[in-house]
Structure 1
Amino acid sequence: MPSNETYVSQILEVISAEPEKVVLSWQDRTLTAAELTAMVRSAAQALHRHTGGDGKATDAVVAVLTVTNTAPTLVLRYAANLIGATVVHLHTTNAVDPADHLAADAKLKILQETGATHLAVDAENVTAARELSERSRTPLVLVGLGDLGPDVLDLTAGNPDAFDPAAIEIGLDRTAVVTYTSGTTGEPKGIAVDFRTRNGFISAGLQMGWRSVYLATLPLSHSSGATTDDSLASGGSVVLRDGFEPGDVLRSVERHGITRMLLSPPQLYMLMDHSEAGSADLSSLQMVTYVGSPASPERLAEAVKLFGDVLIQVYATSEAGFVSMLSPAEHLDARLRTTVGRPMPGWVRIRDRDDSRVLPTGETGEVCVRSAFTMSEYVGEPELTARTVRDGWVHTGDLGFVDGDGYLHLRGRIGEVIKTNGIKIHPVTVENAFLAHPDVVQAGVFCVRDKDRIEHMHAAVVLREPGAVTAAELADHVGAVISPKHVPAKIGIRTALPLTGAGKPDKARLAAEASV
């Protein structure tokens, strides 16, 4: 990609081949390629003129506060990035649920931490934006698409024909997008990704041999946004839903001829268990990707029967980006369904936690990643950045090993290792044993410390059907699959597990509830 082009320029160039094609659908509204292009170019021209318009990339930092899975979220990001501005997603830190909003104080902290200069809003959020602007220590320019009041700059007033993005030189090392994630500590961290990396995100779409029709239910502020870019870059289209409802998803696949979805494992299970799953026409699906947390190997076998040869598992982290993938064909092998697939050659090293030496095949250590898709930094946290990114390698904090065939196995987080029964136990090892039981669909294994600070291993599981199996029977199962020492001191059966913003079992909450 030429240095004066961004991923946005490439997307607009691809979709311009069919100007009347509907490329975006949301809330019973649609945009054609021509309409989307005009909106992006108009907004970019107006924003560029407001920030100087001297032919150089702007230094503006545009925070986006909109209903997440709508066209304005996409248009405002595209317009800002087209002129070299940094975009900060302000709506949520939740990568799974777009309805999970950040509190006002957290939004204000992000605005101050990132040095935001503009706050891009929609009608639903303009009142909240005004309140944030009044509380901000530095001036914020409110911008939006349409007439949102005299204090909000209308970016639709720009002239798309007066704007030439090719004339703007944008440094590839400049931050393109900052996405805040809750992480395992619950404290939001800003993950900065530069234009070089963002440009690379759409490479698959530009090379895709088929035009995908993507159903976006996960928030556009996180990985779903990159998948949307990739889908448009394929010459395809995107159907936006502001949340996940299994019946609506199944009907949408049939109605829109959806070829591509991105889900968390719990959402995959909800689709499989829905009453309409057996009758829905899912023949259009070509790619059902699940991310975020381990999936039950038994349930994956069922998913293959329902959806066909289309399942893809992606292991990725906010800091490291894409790491490894398990292909549809590999889902047919029961042994491989317990792995997270093969990393790209040279991308992953397993390092000793103490001395950082590279460990040989089969030994468990920290998963470290070096690729074209890693973050630039944690915003405002240089010391944490230095601890996480060393010599170009992102230290993920995940434990795992690579087997003799090159497949990556995850064994949990570094801080999750439980010392009990005289041994060190990786929770994921026990979770995988639970998930190997045909009646278990979710499992979380966590540490509970007693008043003497002795560590005890507990587990919470969700069953396929209530009463299908007892806790005692599950204990016998784990003991037989691994060893009696790996049996949790307590196994709780629940109707659902609390989840983090990344869609993983919230083990901190489970431990807190168990300690009460």
Structure 2
Amino acid sequence: MPSAPFPLPDDHKQSAAPSHAPYESYVEHLLAVLGRHPERPAVATQDGTSVLAGRLRDSILQVAAGLTALGIRRGQTVTLLTGNRPEALAVRYAANLLGARVVFLSHGQATAVHAAILDSTGTALLVLDPELRTAAAALLRTTGVPLVRTLGPTGDNEDAFGGNLMKDAAHHRPRPLRGRAHPKDDWCIRHTGGTTGIPKGIRMAHGPYRDLLIRSAAALSPDERPRLLACTPLAHMAGILTDIALLAGGSVVMHDSFDPARVLAALSEERITDLWLLPALLYDLLDHPHLAETDTSTLRRIVYGGTPVASSRLAQAQAAFGPVLHGSYGQTEAGCITELLPGEHGRVRDAAEAAPHGSSRVSVGRPAAGVRIEIRDPAGHVLPTGATGEIHVRTPMMMSGYWRRPELTAEVLNDGWIRTGDIGHQDAEDYLYLVGRVQETVIVVGGHIYPADVEDVLFTHPGIAQCAVFGVPDGQGTEQLHVAVVPASAGQPVSLPHDVREFIIQRRGAMYTPTAVHLVDHIPLTGVGKPDKNRLREVLGLTGEAAGSGVRGTGVTSP
């Protein structure tokens, strides 16, 4: 869900380069910033390695020369299967400088999915992380990419992975290079985090992305130098935040994965100012025993989004971290749609807690600069304020379309508007409220249920730390409602499942009675950090055509 993580100026319309001037991509702007103060630290890694700004700049230019020597040209595809490493950044920037598009492979996807993406995107070069040798070897057995290179030494079998790209690049001089990208070229094809089938490829153009980064960096005060902790994959929001932080003259601390203890330690030891988290990861920080002793005084922004957040947990976060929370709602197809600034959190939280039926719905904020929102019915008619329907948007960061899927592009992108697939409504002050996803609606006897409605209620239960609500076909044309909960304490009484059922019924009504309540140790997440409800169904044995039939009462299961 790419978004605008820092405050943006009111004028957020895409700017066009003057016709007499050559187009400069975001990479050229970044190279200029890195060259102004080459001795300042730019990137630090979890093991304590530090990369100076001048060294990062030189590395980008050297890799660009190395890619050119390999035959990489504008319009080709460079695909990366890597972790959070400075070398991966250098390769991405170098490829974009040459006008090549970049594709990221998610660690959580199967080898067959990776192979299909490589084939679909016509990958000219596959770049592999030496720490992912097992996954890389499996992938190379199933696909025939023209060129393969690694980001570092792989031991005795280095030749099996095509050689070390960074070692070869070091032989080139870091000569200045004029970028070859055009504004409408793809800088990236970002694939959806789907857990079934082949993910959709979303084309993202250079021009809008450059404008987003430059405007976001410029919106910071001149003396502010953000220090970002990137503890989620650089292929997603952490990568966008990294670009903005570096363009603003700041620095980035990279962790190879999210670990709440390590994140809390880094907040104080590394004097972190900026952090991006999905709500589930924010909850992990709030529940960690080290939080109370962690110095978070340098934090300026915790940007959260990706899934709805519960008001009770939002209140905990405000108490723990102070007025630094920045809510963001968006989609890869549309970019940032709405923002909820720190000063607005108290208002929307209080409104949510005062809502009837024990709802804890929290607004995702108001339209970001340059964004228009319409709520429409299934026939496409615009609905009045307060009515619930599908959210349609126009934004400065809209995708160019789905990669090689014109029919799907026409379904989602029509007349300059994106169909988000999200259900919601706006109030009289333009605050947007999400109800659920069109595709996740659970059709039960008596009506339609949006899982987010039930999850909102569950998060107000004192015995629940995390939860996920999903439907399972019953073989009769309707579905059964299933609830998975992580108890707030390992010593929760056995009566918790029964309590959960009654809690839902009292606050939502009999139609919302779950067929089963599953006690689980954790909620599995997709590769991009969202609750993986398909995985939950698999682990709980609920994936058959009529997997829910015959299951009655309260189930107590742990994956």
TM-score by length of 2: 0.83
- Say which of 79, 84, 103 aligns to 1:88: 103
AA aligned to 1:396 is: T
Shift of 1:186: 5.0
Match for 1:446: what amino acid? Answer: F
Contact 1:200 1:373 survives alignment (8 Å): no
Distance 1:345 1:355 in 2: 28
Partner of 1:285: 299
Q: Secondary structure at the match of 1:160?
A: coil
Task: State whether structure 2 residue 413 is matched by structure 1 residue 401.
Answer: no
> How much has 1:411 moved relative to structure 2?
1.2
CA distance in 1, matches of 2:63, 2:537: 48
CA contact (8 A) 1:146 1:155 kept: no
Aligned with 2:188 (options 177, 188, 191): 177
Residue type of the alignment partner of 2:147: L
Offset at residue 58 of structure 1 (A): 2.2
User: Quick check: 1:120 aligned with 2:135?
Assistant: no
Q: Distance in 2 between matches of 1:440 and 1:295?
A: 14
Instruction: Show the 5 A alignment for 1:364-513.
Output: 364-466=388-490, 467=492, 470-512=496-538, 513=540
1:321 matched to 2:340: no
Give, in whole Å, the separation in 1 of the partners of 2:515 and 2:134: 51
Deviations 1:206-241 (Å, cap 9, x if unpaired)?
Answer: 331121100001100112111110111111100000
Name 1:331's counterpart in structure 2: 345
* Residue among 168, 172, 185 paired with 1:158: 172
State the secondary structure of the residue aligned to 1:278: helix
> Is 1:43–1:157's contact at 8 Å kept on the other side of the alignment?
no
Which residue identity is paired with 1:270?
A: D
Letter in 2 for 1:404: A
Give the counterpart letter for 2:513 in structure 1: V
Decide which moves more: 133-142 or 388-397.
133-142
Shift in CA distance, 449/65, structure 1 to aligned 2, threshold 3 Å: closer
**More displaced stretch, 425-434 vs 140-149:** 140-149
Return the match for 1:189 from 187, 191, 200.
Answer: 200
Cα distance change, pair 300–186 in 1 and its aligned pair in 2 (3 A): farther
Deviation at 1:304, TM superposition (A): 0.7
Cα 1:117–1:374 change in 2 (3 A) is same
1: distance between equivalents of 2:151 and 2:536?
41
Match of 1:340 in 2: 364
Which residue is equivalent to 1:96?
A: none
Kindly state the Cα deviation for residue 290 of structure 1 after the two structures are TM-superposed: 1.5
- 232-241 vs 373-382, which deviates more? 373-382
- Structure 1: gaps of 5 or more residues: 93-99
Q: CA deviation at 1:285?
A: 0.7
1:208 partnered with 2:224? no
Q: How far apart are 1:301 and its partner, in Å?
A: 0.5
Residue type at the aligned position of 1:44: A
Pair 129,59 (structure 1): closer, same or farther in 2 beyond 3 Å = farther
Question: Equivalents in 2 of 1:325, 1:184: separation in Å?
Answer: 27
Query: 1:133–1:490: structure 2 CA closer, same or farther, 3 Å change rule?
Result: closer
Cα displacement string for residues 351-395 of structure 1 (whole angstroms, at most 9, x for unaligned residues): 434211111111111112211212222222222122111112121
- 1:45 is aligned with what amino acid? A
- AA matched with 1:116: T
8 Å CA contact 1:61, 1:116 repeated in 2: yes
Q: Are the aligned partners of 2:128 and 2:148 in contact in 1 as well (CA < 8 Å)?
A: no
TM-score, with length taken from structure 1: 0.89
Which residue, out of 19, 33, 38, partners 2:38? 19
Match of 1:305 in 2: 319
Indicate conservation of the 8 Å contact 1:444/1:459, yes or no. yes
TM-aligned CA deviation for residue 298 of structure 1: 0.7
Match of 1:36 in 2: 56
Flag the 1:431–1:195 CA change in 2: closer, same or farther, 3 A.
same
Using the aligned pairs only, state the percent identity: 34
* Structure 2 residues without counterparts, runs of 5 or longer: 1-14, 353-360, 549-559
Distance 1:29 1:253 in 2: 17
More displaced 10-residue stretch of structure 1: 267-276 or 419-428 = 419-428
CA distance in 1, matches of 2:145, 2:496: 58
Q: CA deviation at 1:266?
A: 1.8
The alpha carbon displacement at 1:248 in A equals: 0.8
Q: Distance in 1 between matches of 2:180 and 2:532?
A: 44
Q: CA RMSD in A?
A: 2.6
What amino acid is aligned across from residue 81 of structure 1 in structure 2?
N
State the secondary structure of the residue aligned to 2:191. strand
The aligned residue for residue 358 of structure 2 is none
Q: Where in structure 2 are the equivalents of 1:142-157 lying within 5 Å? A: 142=149, 151-152=162-163, 154-157=168-171
Match of 2:238 in 1: 224
Shift of 1:308: 0.8
Determine if contact 1:261/1:287 at 8 Å carries over to the other structure.
yes
SS at match of 2:476: coil
Does structure 1 retain, via aligned residues, the 8 Å contact 2:334–2:397?
yes
Contact 2:81 2:129 (C-alpha < 8 Å) held by counterparts:
yes
318-327 vs 503-512, greater mean Cα deviation: 503-512
Q: Which moved more, 1:503-512 or 1:414-423?
A: 503-512
